[in-house]
Amino acid sequence: MGNVRIAVVGGGIAGATAAYHLSEVHPDAEVLLLEAERVLAHHTTGRSAAIFVENLATPPNRIMLRAGRDFLWDPPEGLADHPILTHRTVMHVATEAQVGALEETYAAGQAVTTPSEWLTPEEAAVHFPPIRSELLAAAVLEPECADIDVGGLHQAYIRGMRRNGGTIATSRRVDAARPDGDGWRLDTTDGEVGADVLVNAAGSWGDLVAASAGVEPVGLQPNRRTAFMVNGPGVDATGWAFTIDAESRWYTKDDGPQMLCSLVEETPFEPCDVKPDEADVALAIERINEATT
Ligand SMILES: Cc1cc2nc3c(=O)[nH]c(=O)nc-3n(C[C@H](O)[C@H](O)[C@H](O)COP(=O)(O)OP(=O)(O)OC[C@H]3O[C@@H](n4cnc5c(N)ncnc54)[C@H](O)[C@@H]3O)c2cc1C
């Protein structure tokens, strides 16, 4: 692909991943990463809970998660000099009324690399001591999950694509793209850019970028999810599970001296620099306070 220019729109984890791998596979091509914000990874990528769980979302998601697992534990030499994952357990906790939902999670968790385990309330308290075990009917432990070093992975891809000759333009929003011969002409906030190949990695804005290029949107629905940090209990939390309500009404995990908390909601939203709604933060705190000491 000599003299070919590949333009990747969006500098989150998807765009950084695409830009790096394209620069590896096509060393003669010129890879250009275009990001609307002043800094990369400002939106969803910079706000993730950074948990790697194989037993997550839909069956196709699980296939991709399993396929990426070895790469993240043992990244190729030259990309990152340390594993991107650090071991952590994930535990789903259920009251009597939530046992049906827990059974579904348990059943789905039998198909992953290390099958899920069914726990008593007393066993659950070993994995997450603040849980009010007297309110629980049971729990399910996913033993082989991990924390993702999202910043480390993103930086590794960015360093790698730069090393391969790729370039990055921040504060460079793509406003429209139109076919130009066999390629594309992009209107950006800093003038026109030509590209032979256009990669849409614009996250929540993906359908807007597609529409601006005359490509039929696939029907992406951006959702807002609230996450926030609170002071931790002031004890050593090493080995505590990422703990999530069986019906995904809240989750929490230790992060140094603090706890990351979420309401795990999915509120349909227009793509924007999203901010938390105070009522959602309050509801998450109420639910977590009810479930923990
Ligand atoms: C609260 C929360 C917790 C999460 N927890 C987890 C978790 O534990 N584990 C997990 O695997 N995933 C988690 N996720 C999901 C994960 O963070 C996302 O799937 C991932 O970050 C999406 O990356 P992206 O690159 O597609 O999008 P983004 O990071 O949003 O990147 C898209 C980029 O495109 C840019 N852009 C948009 N339009 C244009 C344009 N016209 N021109 C140029 N640039 C443009 C944007 O500025 C943005 O930087 C979580 C998400 C949230 C919100």
> Per-residue pLDDT tens for 110-128?
988 899 999 999 999 999 9
Regarding the beta carbon of 14 and ligand 1, being less than 6 Å apart is answered yes
Could you list the beta-strand ranges (E) of 122-270.
138-148, 167-169, 174-180, 183-188, 191-195, 197-200, 223-224, 227-231, 242-245, 251-255, 258-262, 267-268
Query: What is the rounded distance in angstroms from the CA atom of residue 88 to the CA atom of residue 211?
Result: 40
Distance from Cα 37 to the centre of ligand 1, integer Å: 13
All structural domains of the chain with their residue ranges: 5-50+150-212, 87-148+222-291
* Digit-coded pLDDT (tens) for 73-109: 999 999 998 999 999 999 999 999 999 999 999 999 9
What token pair was written down for 141? 């432990």
Closest ligand 1 atom to the C-alpha of 224? 53
Q: How much of the chain exceeds pLDDT 70, in percent?
A: 99
Whether domain 87-148+222-291 has CATH 3.30.9.10: the reply is yes
Q: Phi, psi at residue 123, to the nearest 5°?
A: -65, -35
Regarding the beta carbon of 154 and ligand 1, being less than 6 Å apart is answered no
Please check whether residue 199 is in contact with residue 8, taking contact to mean a CB–CB distance below 8 angstroms: yes
Q: What is the pLDDT of residue 2?
A: 56
| Selection from 80, 60, 73, 26 nearest residue 197 by Cα | 26
Q: What is the pLDDT of residue 58?
A: 85
Distance from Cα 50 to the centre of ligand 1, integer Å: 12
Q: What is the pLDDT of residue 121?
A: 98
The contacts of residue 67 (CB under 8 Å, 6+ apart) are: none
Q: What is the pLDDT of residue 113?
A: 87
Which of the four pLDDT bands, split at 50, 70 and 90, describes residue 3?
confident
With a cut of 70, say whether residue 1 has pLDDT above it: no
Candidate of 40, 47, 48 to mutate for ligand 1, largest count of ligand atoms within 8 Å of Cβ: 48
Candidate of 8, 38, 43, 69 to mutate for ligand 1, largest count of ligand atoms within 8 Å of Cβ: 43
ipTM confidence: 0.99
With a cut of 90, say whether residue 243 has pLDDT above it: yes
Q: Which CATH architecture has domain 5-50+150-212?
A: 3-Layer(bba) Sandwich (3.50)
